[in-house]
Amino acid sequence: MAREARGSVAAGSLKHAAASRAPVIFLGPAGAGKGTQAARLADRLGVPRISTGDMLRDALAAGNAVGRAAAPFLERGDLVPDEILIGMIRERIADPDCAKGYVLDGFPRTLPQAEALEQMLGAVASSCVVLNLEVPRDELLRRLSGRGRDDDRGQAVEHRLQDYEDQTRPLVDFYERRGRLHRVNGFRPMDAVSADLQRIVEARG
């Protein structure tokens, strides 16, 4: 076999190995259906779903150091500081159950978080699939007002959607520039959305 050909086979299998460890990242505002879709996709892929919202609520309930640090921000409905989230994710993705990939739901949510994740992933970063669930604002408001969680009331909802626009929307460009972004219309029946997401992830090989 010619040297170049051997080289490209090796590069090909390395690429495949990286892809199988790379996370699937969900973007999209509160109410877009991220949680449900992330759980379905993780099940389907047989990998863990890592929800930062769930992790923070668990930490709060446990009263541990992360919970105590995050509490005032969660109470106000503010984003929790980047250092806390970055540390939490760095530890979590080092767990053995993440070795064959994982689905990130709620992280990254700010540019510094996205940049930290690039560093953590190294060469694997370029194999990430980023899914942006798009839902019109009126529909988000309608869904969130029906959900009834403490942070889903009136002004709190507006506040979270505004945080999304200010802090998280820039990530759409960040990932688009890197050629990893897939936009998915989330204003459709759940099964149709799931089917599209699955197709996109399977196409990455």
**Residues that bind ligand ADP in the complex, under the rule CB under 6 A:** 30, 52-53, 56, 73-74, 77-80, 85, 106-107, 109, 113, 151, 160
Measured from the CB of residue 1, what is the shortest distance to ligand ADP in angstroms? 46
**Residue closest to ligand ADP when measured from CB atoms:** 53
Which residue, 6 or 142, has its beta carbon nearer to ligand ADP?
142
Strand partners, 134: 185
Complex with ligand ADP: residue 52 or 132, whichever CB lies closer: 52
Concatenated DSSP letters of 53-64: HHHHHHHHHHT-
Comparing C-alpha atoms, which of 42, 120, 61 is closest to residue 88?
120
Of residues 18 and 152, the one with the C-beta less far from ligand ADP: 152
Whose Cβ is closer to ligand ADP: residue 24's or residue 56's? 56
Closest contact distance (angstroms) between CB of 146 and ligand ADP is 13
Distances in Å between the Cα of 182 and the Cα atoms of 13, 63, 113 are 24, 37, 19
Strand partners, 131: 26, 182
| Of 22 and 74, CB closest to ligand ADP | 74
Query: Nearest approach, Cβ of 7 to ligand ADP (angstroms)?
Result: 39
Give the shortest CB-109-to-ligand ADP separation in angstroms.
3
Structure-block tokens of residue 28:
């999209």
Alpha helix (H) residue ranges in the chain: 3-21, 34-45, 52-62, 65-76, 82-92, 111-121, 137-145, 154-163, 169-177, 190-203
